[in-house]
Amino acid sequence: MVKTAHIIGAGISGLSAAVRLSNVGFAVHVHEATQQAGGRCRSYYDAATDLVIDNGNHLMLSGNRHARAYARSIGSEAGLAGPERARFDFMDMASGERWTLDLGNGRVSTWLFDAARRVPGTGVVDYLKLAPLVWAGTAARVGDTVACKGELYRRLVHPLLLAALNVDPPDGSAGLAGAIVRETLLAGGQACRPLIAREGLSAVLVDPALALLRARGADIRFGHELRKVQAANGAVTALDFGEDTAAVAPGDVIVLAVPPRAAASIVPGLTGPVKFRAIVNAHFRHDPPADQPALMGVIGGLVEWLFAFPQRLSVTISDADRLVNAPREELARDIWRDVCKAARLGADVAEGPLPPWQIVRERRATFEATPEQHRLRPGTRTEWKNLFLAGDWTDTGLPATIEGSVRSGDRAADLALTMT
């Protein structure tokens, strides 16, 4: 008899679990509370810029093996565009200096021994001093583990960890920072090539999954919010959506892939992170200069990362709680000045009328990747043998990332299979 998998939440973690269970023949039902799939990783039409934009610029790396396997399984891996080598362009706002960090494309970090490929002003010994992060425990803070000062910190460690942890790096979990260092810098250039969904997050990571699931007969329902569950004898027996209820037969599985607050209202006694940080993205409808790299790190600016898309320059600012209530017009102007400097658009353009723009402030973009919040992350199993948790906030061993989301969805699906 065909078994049923109920996937609650159509973010990346839910979709990856849905695809994995559908691959092995489950009849999949996806229940999503909102009218759109993708969760915190989605695209939409923006009238202000008259462009389809993403809720946030998302950077993936070639070492994100679960995320890439997910994209491959839905036929869209080619949509993750990136260079042949792991090259990252940077500019320093204070000095105007520009450089390229060239991690190459090998498995061994030979770039460390070539001054021209390293961060300017740094020596091999500076990088070796990062080693304690690699074996740091989950209770330690970055600031207690490595020295958060000097050129290497300012020009590489700070921007890398700020983007990955979404907290001021010294306050971040050294264990999570260590996972990032192990899976990126230590794994050589082959793991560090930047990958961007240039056609948009939904086109690459969401819509192909929905199409595949639908082609296999999956039932995908929007505006279908799980309110609570009924359980008996250690297993969930029914899903209560308020206006309707779905019975759960023996052998059927449920993957609860919703944010922590929603999960805690459904699973009694569940712990999860309770503190979150914002990410601000600004999008300007302006053609990037021909030589503008697809991605540029900006040191010492309001802007942290500048992305160049066709017809659009977009920026990301992490750990951005300080900006969520800033007046929008002023913020757009300040960000545009940094963009013009980084992309060499000139003072006239910087002080002239703003091009069509949009600012997207995701207030609860990610959980705070501090030791305290990390400690609250639950595993995949619950007190009910047929209900499994997924989500970037579960204990994936990574900060809140697409890779972590996919890993959690894969793990939930794999455990669900062992149950049946």
Q: Where do contacts with ligand FAD occur on this chain (CB under 6 A)?
A: 8-14, 31-34, 39-41, 55-56, 58-60, 225-226, 257-259, 262, 279, 281, 362, 365-366, 391-392, 400-403, 405
Closer of 59 and 152 to ligand FAD (Cβ): 59
Closer of 145 and 405 to ligand FAD (Cβ): 405
Please give the helix or strand (H or E) that residue 278 lies within, else none.
strand 276-285
Please give the helix or strand (H or E) that residue 360 lies within, else none.
strand 357-367
Closer of 186 and 257 to ligand FAD (Cβ): 257
Closer of 275 and 344 to ligand FAD (Cβ): 275
- Shortest reach from residue 77's CB to ligand FAD, in Å: 15
Closer of 67 and 174 to ligand FAD (Cβ): 67
Closer of 368 and 403 to ligand FAD (Cβ): 403
In single-letter form, the type of residue at position 48 comes to A
- Shortest reach from residue 310's CB to ligand FAD, in Å: 19
d(CA 31, CA 9): 6
- Shortest reach from residue 127's CB to ligand FAD, in Å: 23
- Shortest reach from residue 356's CB to ligand FAD, in Å: 20
Closer of 366 and 386 to ligand FAD (Cβ): 366
- Shortest reach from residue 14's CB to ligand FAD, in Å: 6
DSSP 8-state secondary structure symbol assigned to residue 173: B
d(CA 271, CA 346): 51
- Shortest reach from residue 409's CB to ligand FAD, in Å: 7
| Backbone φ, ψ for residue 205 (5° rounding) | -110, -10
- Shortest reach from residue 361's CB to ligand FAD, in Å: 9
Burial grade of 5 (CB within 10 A; 0-12, 13-18, 19 or more): buried
Contacts of 234 (CB under 8 A, 6+ apart): 383, 384, 385
Residue 336 in tokens: 């545009």
d(CA 320, CA 303): 11
Measure Cα distances from 334 to 327, 337, 346 in Å. Answer: 11, 5, 15
* CA neighbor of 22 nearest in space, from 87, 83, 89, 70: 70
Please give the helix or strand (H or E) that residue 266 lies within, else none.
helix 260-266
- Shortest reach from residue 336's CB to ligand FAD, in Å: 19
Question: Do 90 and 296 form a contact (C-beta atoms < 8 A)?
Answer: yes
Closer of 32 and 252 to ligand FAD (Cβ): 32
Please give the helix or strand (H or E) that residue 5 lies within, else none.
strand 4-8
